[in-house]
Structure 1
């Protein structure tokens, strides 16, 4: 063997036998902490361990890594309108359970905002429409900071406020690589959708908090032929989708990038009530549907051929008895999908059950993760069909950590 070859082998042996350089203590801690569950109490509790842990947990760079690692925020609770109150109902257990009053909005706090309707909840904000000082106004409420923004309703949408739909989203939308964690502190967009009648086209408009103005009015090329559902719309990529009531095979699609509003075809779900169907982000990232035909749960997705022809496909059928843990012989009724969050990829399901030899039905609610089909029973019931799940990376006290010993 040549001297050169022997030297190379010796060098390789040294390389493999040399001990690995130890990771920097703080870097190793970051790698550990970034994997803890993204629940409200996680970072504050970690920060209470020592000054080093507190410094790492409060570092903005670590927070960005933490959000990017988990990507899907937890569902903290749901928003709903009860009387004139905007009520937040937590669904997590202690110590992650957020007191209802922390995020709720009471009429005495907003006395001049009357006759309002809850429209949407997304990216750390809640959108409502109503009258403020006798003018049609939108309220954008930030539950985390308790901040409020008021946006005048455009004249084209004041014809019938009860027939106006809308949603709020952060200005970044669902852009590639963006994680919705601190969106409540940045700019936002409001989207309004309205229809005058079944015989007229639907119209949409987008407001930007960065410019403070509404964009141009966008209309469908054809009438909707059906009223727009009160169900919250679904954001998939750069498009928003609304369910149309009384339509066999149509829904509304608003492409935010192309500024195009269109009536598009969907699958026909004959004999299935709209309360058991929800527009979702399908496997692969496109638009899809979750369909509850108890005891089965169907997941649909849309595929495009090379020439652009869309085909709807049934991607999965799941036995809901196995998912939510109910006995197969139990009597059920009034099954419904009562909420959906595309950010967390979860649905809220309500089921009324009756045990054998019992005459009373019991209402049960479950939150189901769509990709894993893991579920958790909730401590409260949901009797309506249009709740607004609030999914967010909320770390109460993560900025102002308590004093700790080193």
Structure 2
């Protein structure tokens, strides 16, 4: 018999384990169950940090879909797209609305007669933080909000989901549009930033590009830019070709600019905002994607609608009643995400996830039901 093969050094073993894909958390569990030494490496906090640094881009773990129940109340359900499971079995079905998700956090809301209650939720740890009430007088149904890391301009967002955060809220009332921002560090809402025009704010994705959040208006082809540093609001007009702003979905382009996609029947038209040599900004149409060649034939007997965008993954979600498809804008690959319920708006949950591995013998199924840690 020959000599036994030499054991891998821990640093070499790490290099092998780094190659496991983050969009399938169960693979780390299976690797940890192979051998005690592998488990020791995988459960080390340093490995988890290096694993996230190696992959850089967090995966899509699932999405929160908003739909109407039999009483026509908005209900949210979590739909996993990997082996990731919520810590509580009943956490995926509540009478709330999913508003936004970014940097490992999800923003939920409930609406009263005059109050809007916003809740920041960590789906991995099931931690909730309810924000101070927002009282609107008179009440407004035209509003939107976004959540983000407080250090958005100086953070790699690999492990900041438990750190300070901001929530920006935009609404229209009494002939004006205003934005207020909540800081978890001081626990209060900022003073109003306003524009003297009433915009019918759409309940759609609000991309973050640089230091600015962007919100779309429903009845006018206008985009509202809110600079988080200067706290100023700027109105940006969409190109004249976009005569139906309800079919426009704002997004951050792959190269870090503001963009949007316009759905024209069965064609996705992609636009981006570019700054010319004279300093002026203009919209340019970069490409179009023919959905006829990507979606199943039976999809074209129903209404197509863009219902969500995965920021950082360059993926748009299309609803073809009652199925949700994810369209990768770079590769044009299409993946069926859900076909059991009609969602009118979805919020992707994008985050790293490392399953918690406690002492004793556990199966991968048991571990994935028990929660873990994310970035």
Per the TM superposition, whether the score is higher than 0.5 is yes
| Alignment of 1:171 onto 2:150 | yes
Q: Which has the larger radius of gyration?
A: 1
Per-residue displacement from partner, 1:10-60 (whole Å, max 9, x unpaired)? xxxxxxxxxxxx997211222222221112213222222222221222222
CA distance in 1, matches of 2:54, 2:150: 22
Q: Report the secondary structure of 1:62's partner residue.
A: helix
Per-residue displacement from partner, 1:281-336 (whole Å, max 9, x unpaired)? 11321000122334332221111012210121111222324444x35x98443011
Per-residue displacement from partner, 1:209-256 (whole Å, max 9, x unpaired)? 112222232123x414x30011232222321111100113x1111111
Q: Could you say if the C-alpha distance between residues 351 and 86 of structure 1 is closer, same or farther in structure 2, counting changes exceeding 3 Å?
A: closer
| Alignment of 1:242 onto 2:222 | no
Q: Could you say if the C-alpha distance between residues 320 and 331 of structure 1 is closer, same or farther in structure 2, counting changes exceeding 3 Å?
A: closer
Deviation of 1:393 after TM superposition, in Å, equals 1.4
- Which residue in 2 is equivalent to 1:307? 278
CA contact (8 A) 2:266 2:304 kept: no
Gap regions ≥5 residues in structure 1: 1-21, 108-113, 353-362
Gap regions ≥5 residues in structure 2: 1-5, 363-375
Q: Could you say if the C-alpha distance between residues 342 and 158 of structure 1 is closer, same or farther in structure 2, counting changes exceeding 3 Å?
A: farther
| Alignment of 1:286 onto 2:257 | yes
CA contact (8 A) 2:65 2:344 kept: no
CA contact (8 A) 1:234 1:342 kept: yes
CA distance in 2, matches of 1:135, 1:85: 18
- Please give the TM-score of this superposition, normalised by the length of structure 2: 0.82
| Alignment of 1:26 onto 2:10 | yes
Q: Report the secondary structure of 2:355's partner residue.
A: coil
CA contact (8 A) 1:136 1:152 kept: no
Deviation of 1:136 after TM superposition, in Å, equals 5.1
Deviation of 1:62 after TM superposition, in Å, equals 2.1
CA distance in 2, matches of 1:314, 1:349: 20
| 2:183 equivalent among 208, 224, 229 | 208
Q: Report the secondary structure of 1:183's partner residue.
A: coil
| 2:223 equivalent among 251, 263, 267 | 251
- Which residue in 2 is equivalent to 1:129? 109
Q: Report the secondary structure of 2:161's partner residue.
A: helix
Deviation of 1:279 after TM superposition, in Å, equals 0.6
CA contact (8 A) 1:47 1:401 kept: no
- Which residue in 2 is equivalent to 1:193? 170
Q: Could you say if the C-alpha distance between residues 223 and 342 of structure 1 is closer, same or farther in structure 2, counting changes exceeding 3 Å?
A: same
- Please give the TM-score of this superposition, normalised by the length of structure 1: 0.76
| 1:345 equivalent among 308, 314, 322 | 314
CA contact (8 A) 2:143 2:203 kept: no
| 1:147 equivalent among 92, 117, 127 | 127
| 1:80 equivalent among 62, 65, 89 | 65
- Which residue in 1 is equivalent to 2:81? 91
- Which residue in 2 is equivalent to 1:183? 160
CA contact (8 A) 1:240 1:255 kept: yes
| Alignment of 1:263 onto 2:244 | no
Per-residue displacement from partner, 1:70-109 (whole Å, max 9, x unpaired)? 23322222223454754212234xxx153695472656xx
